[in-house]
Amino acid sequence: MSTDTKQIIADALLKNEQAMYGPFFGSLGVTSAMAFAAAGSAYGTAKAGTGIASMAVARPDLVMKAIIPVVMAGIVAIYGLVVAVIVSGKVEPAGANYTINNAFSQFAGGLVCGLCGLGAGYAIGIAGDAGVRALSQQPRMFVGMILILIFAEVLGLYGMIVALILGAT
Amino acid sequence: MTTSSSSEPSTMATLFPNFRDQEVQSAVKNLLTYSLVILIVPLASMFLLKQFFFEGLLGVSANDALTYSAIIAVVLVHVVLGIWLFAATKQEDRKKRENKQD
């Protein structure tokens, strides 16, 4: 193989490594982190909200406790927001310090945070709905409900940690 | 404690039927305060810490500053959530004690 051919292959490799579609995947990571986390949070808020609405008819004094599933669903959206803001600060035009490796790991980070948030939001919604309904009849259910909600919310936190590790590389 | 002497109910009275009730008033105030705090604290701490603490005082690069302030914001949100839980349980305990004294 002549040095000319080698040079051509090396150039082609470099060009593919710094492909111009790199920022597309980075931006897609930003979008998926925010959009999926917001979707999960919205479902959790709506599902827990119906439960709060029906239990508050009988026990309006418990509303401070009953609103906690909604707050936790909101925190899941904050995870998505944090990852989206961090990743969006690192998306740049393709070049020597922004290769497709960076872009794909940002895409993966956004996706893992978003989908973990989606799952956590679903879990918070369903467990919160049942929890606040039970709370109106048995106030001692509060600690149990909080524990279930914390375990559901930690799933979103795991996603955020992995996303931060992926996005930081 | 029927202070609504006027014939037409005010907007506050239609929103909260027993608004003059001490318990309802404190509950609404608590809820409003905590809701505002948990909305504002993470966003404000994230951007203010990045701007003034990490970049201004410590001179960290923009990307690192954003990561650090994001982690602190998430920790702060959980602190506020913990305070919320504490307040919710304390409220219930106080109510129980008052009922026992009666």
Position A71 confidence tier, pLDDT thresholds 50, 70, 90: very high
> What is the average pLDDT score of chain B?
77
Work out the average pLDDT over A84-101.
89
Name the residue facing B66 among A86, A157, A160 (closest C-beta).
A86
The pLDDT score that the predictor gives to residue A154 is 93
B15 at interface of A, judged by CB pairs closer than 8 A: no
What is the C-alpha separation between A13 and A9, in angstroms, rounded?
Answer: 6
Average pLDDT over residues A47-76: 89
Residue B1 in this model has a pLDDT that exceeds 70:
no
What pLDDT digit, counting tens, does each position of B65-85 carry? 888 888 899 899 999 999 988
- In the predicted model, is pLDDT for residue A104 greater than 90? yes
Q: What is the SS3 assignment for chain B?
A: CCCCCCCCCCHHHHHCCCCCCHHHHHHHHHHHHHHHHHHHHHHHHHHHHHHHHHHHHHCCCHHHHHHHHHHHHHHHHHHHHHHHHHHHHHHHHHHHHHHHHC
Answer yes or no: do A139 and B46 touch at CB < 8 A.
no
Tell me which residues of chain A, numbers 88 to 127, contact chain B at a CB-CB cutoff of 8 Å: 89-90
Q: Which residue segments constitute the domains of chain A, with CATH numbers given? A: 3-167 (1.20.120.610)
Residues 6+ apart with CB under 8 A from B56: none
What share of chain A has pLDDT > 90, as a percent? Answer: 62
Give me A23's structure tokens.
Answer: 């920022």
Residues 56-85 of B with CB under 8 A from A: 62-63, 66-67, 70-71, 73-74, 77-78, 81, 84-85
A68 contacts in B (CB within 8 Å)? 81, 84-85, 88
Distance from CA of B84 to the nearest CA of A (A): 8
CB atoms near residue B80 (< 10 Å)? 18
